[in-house]
Amino acid sequence: MGASLTLEKIAELAGVSRSTVSRVVNDHPNVSEAVRERVWKVVRETGYQPHAAARSLVTRRTNIVGVIIPETVTTLFTDPFFSYLLSGITQTCNAQRYHLMLSLFNDPVAPGDSYRRVVRSGHLDGVVVASARVDDPLIPRLLKDHVPFVMVGRHPDKRVSYVDIDNVGAARMAVEHLIRSGHRRIATITGPLNMASGEDRLKGYRQALEAHHIPVDDSLIVEGDFSEASGALAARRLLSLSATAIFAANDIMAVGALKVLRDAGLRVPQDVALVGFDDIPLAAALQPALTTMRQPIEQMGAMSADLLLDLIETPPDDGAPAHKVILLAELVVRTSCGVLG
């Protein structure tokens, strides 16, 4: 019976107008509790299901949010960072009864096609953007089109809301741990330097050395792209430079570096200490177990979704400041750095 019912029929059975039924099923506040309960009683008894498309015409919302990750499918499914991030986003969306759509924007031939198909189609109420480069054209497009969005990761544009950790402070903490352990010739494998996280973690590395009056040797700074292959390639470049420690800007690159060091006959931590970033599950399972900076990835995902839903439900006034949430990372000391405790 529920499939054949209309708003008009529900209105007739409840003794109210069609517009009142519409306001009730769309949770509009301007309806008395007595009338609201009478309408819902009829809805429950008849099994009526309000049509999602009809609701969206009234509210101009679809209750669908997107997650846009400008990465390849391979990266998404090989880096556990994204699994934890999506888990946090999903938990928040489920709790708030929003549906989630995942899109990977990684088309160098026609990057605008994905934007038109996904964002400008009108199917999404807003988006969470993760792993975007600072110069990604997606961000100015979203700003221009007034699409509600939140980034996971800092962005220099003051109009952009984001959730991030203190990457500068976290990287500095990791490198200072190596310095306190007696290391002076410390190399780093950075993330992409056109991403805020890559830039900030390099800044923290430099700050740690400078604070302890250790000259920064640019030959010990090698850029990676957060992949295992780039960590391995960077470690090969560092082999001849006599570094006694390496700070990798994520755990996946640290894994690549560890394999290269072993293949070269070097022991970790006896010959070269190693510190990563993220604390993915593999970090504790490595031999030796990886010292790393633990960032609350799942919490970052949940908070970014919370912030986005707030922007959707209560659009900010023009000129209102963007929201910036900064979380703290934690140093997890294991055997790869040569010092426990």
- Confirm whether 2-59 and 64-164+298-328 share one CATH topology: no
Half-sphere exposure of 118 (CA within 13 A, CB side): 23
Residue 294 to residue 281: CA distance in whole angstroms: 11
Model pLDDT for residues 45-98, shown as the tens digit of each residue: 887 766 554 455 445 678 899 999 988 777 878 889 999 999 999 999 999 889
Superfamily of domain 2-59: lambda repressor-like DNA-binding domains (1.10.260.40)
| 6 contacts: CB under 8 Å, gap ≥ 6 | none
Residue 6 pLDDT exceeds 90: no
Band of residue 112 on the pLDDT scale cut at 50, 70, 90: low
Angle between helices 80-95 and 297-313 (to 10 degrees): 40
Where do runs of H (alpha helix) occur along the chain? 7-14, 18-25, 33-46, 52-59, 73-78, 80-95, 111-118, 138-144, 167-180, 196-211, 228-238, 251-263, 281-285, 297-313
- For the chain, domain boundaries: 2-59, 64-164+298-328, 167-295+331-337
Query: Do the beta carbons of residue 84 and residue 302 sit within 8 Å?
Result: no
Q: Kindly report the pTM of this predicted structure.
A: 0.80
Class of domain 64-164+298-328: alpha beta
Cα dihedral sign, 316-321-322-324: negative
**Within 13 Å of residue 212, how many CA atoms lie on the same side as its CB?**
21
Both tokens of residue 141? 């497009």
Fold held by 167-295+331-337: Rossmann fold (3.40.50)
Q: Fill in the DSSP letter of residue 271.
A: T
Closest-CA residue to 329 (of 279, 291, 289, 285): 279
Report the pLDDT value the prediction gives residue 4, as an integer from 0 to 100.
54
Mean model confidence pLDDT for the chain: 89
